Amino acid sequence: MRTARTEFEQHVAHARAEFEEANERIKKRTGRDLILAILIGVGIGAVALGSLIFIKWVFILLALGVVVLGVVEFSRALRGSDRRIDLVPQIIAAVVVLLSGAFLELWLHWVALFAGLAVVVVWRLIAQMAAADGRRYNAVTSDVLAGTFVVFYVPFLASMAMVLLRQDRGEWWILAFIAVAVVADTAAYAAGLTFGKHPMAPRISPNKTWEGFAGAVVGAIAAGVLLGIFLLGVPWWAGAILGAVILGTATTGDLGESMVKRDLGIKDMSSWLPGHGGVLDRLDSILPSATAALALYYLFAPMGAA
């Protein structure tokens, strides 16, 4: 028994050494701690899944917290590039816009969006006049545009998921489009890590390859078809369209955020999520996909099973 135990411990130590070596190779190639990233991703996914299925208001609170964190880290990143972003009006606008999407009629939601934008713009102009530091007009204009972009990019796009949540069986559509985006990202990661040789957009995101994108295409469409049939009750071709559209918006969002980070001269929006980067580094593919999912809901939901 002692010999067997010693052999078992040796096998475990050898397997652990090989695993750590493989993880270090992956970390060196991708710049991420894969194991930690998986654990955090699974934890966040479990909370989101449970709230969507059982208690919707918990999902709204989760979305609100994530959006506020995203606004804070984006504002801090913009400040680091000499843009003046006022955090208080940004948080006020984020809360108002997101909650209006969850609880108010659509026309009131648009009113809340423009009211939030007005607060951000007026606050920045008054703060600039009070500062009286001789900042040039083009710099002030850049500050205002950057502030409005934060409102559109984070809380407004996230509010589309809140509008979708209010619809009949909308929680399943949220689950479906997030699942497609996650599957596409995972398939792209795995295919790129295994077969990746040809860079897709080297000036924007050097780690993305065409082989990875091909893996994302297969994964997203397959996930869309399966989720469409078994979760949403729509025809297989509607699920394929769902997969293709979400793949397009997820890829565009991912590359778009990479362009923003390259313009700001940063690798990640923050380091709040070990192994992932910042909150927006995980939401870059999900935020633009929410609007696409809402449009697809209006188009295909009447086909769905009860």
Q: Is the pLDDT of residue 306 over 50?
A: no
Query: Are the C-beta atoms of residues 299 and 172 closer than 8 Å to each other?
Result: no
Work out the angle at residue 169's Cα, subtended by the Cα atoms of residues 66 and 99, and round it to the nearest 5 degrees: 35
State pLDDT tens for residues 61-91. 999 999 999 999 999 999 888 889 999 999 9
The Cα–Cα gap between 151 and 89 comes to 10
Give the integer Cα–Cα distance in Å for 4 and 66.
50
Helices 210-227, 170-195: axis angle to 10 degrees equals 150
Can you tell me the mean pLDDT for 30-49?
A: 68
> Which pLDDT score, from 0 to 100, does residue 283 have?
87
Question: How far is residue 152's CA from residue 164's CA, in Å, rounded to a whole number?
Answer: 17
Helix (H) / strand (E) element for 268: namely none
Cβ count within 10 A of residue 131: 10
Rounded Cα distance, 277 and 152, in Å: 22
| Res 275: pLDDT | 57
pTM over 0.75: yes
Write down the pLDDT at residue 38: 66
- Cα separation, 242 vs 301, in Å, equals 12
CB contact at 8 A, 157 and 287: yes
> Whole-angstrom Cα distance, residue 222 to residue 296?
17
Domain ranges of the chain: 35-166, 168-305
User: For residue 203, what pLDDT is reported?
Assistant: 73
Beta carbons of 112 and 100 less than 8 angstroms apart: yes
Name the burial class of residue 186, with classes exposed (0-12), middle (13-18) and buried (19+) by CB atoms within 10 angstroms of its CB. middle
42: pLDDT strictly greater than 80? no
Residue 110 or 13, more confident: 110
- Asked whether residue 50 carries a pLDDT value surpassing 70, the answer given is yes
Tell me the per-residue pLDDT of 127-180, one tens digit each, with 9 for 90 and over: 999 987 878 889 999 999 999 999 999 999 999 999 999 999 999 999 999 999
Checking if the pLDDT of 27 tops 60, the result is: no
pLDDT at res. 278: 75
Tell which wins on pLDDT, 207 or 59: 59
271-293 residue pLDDT tens: 666 655 678 888 888 999 999 99
Give the Cα-Cα-Cα angle 126, 132, 137 (nearest 5 degrees). Answer: 75
Distance of CA 220 to the CA centre of its chain: 16
Are 181 and 168 a contacting pair, CB within 8 Å? no
Amino acid 53: pLDDT: 83
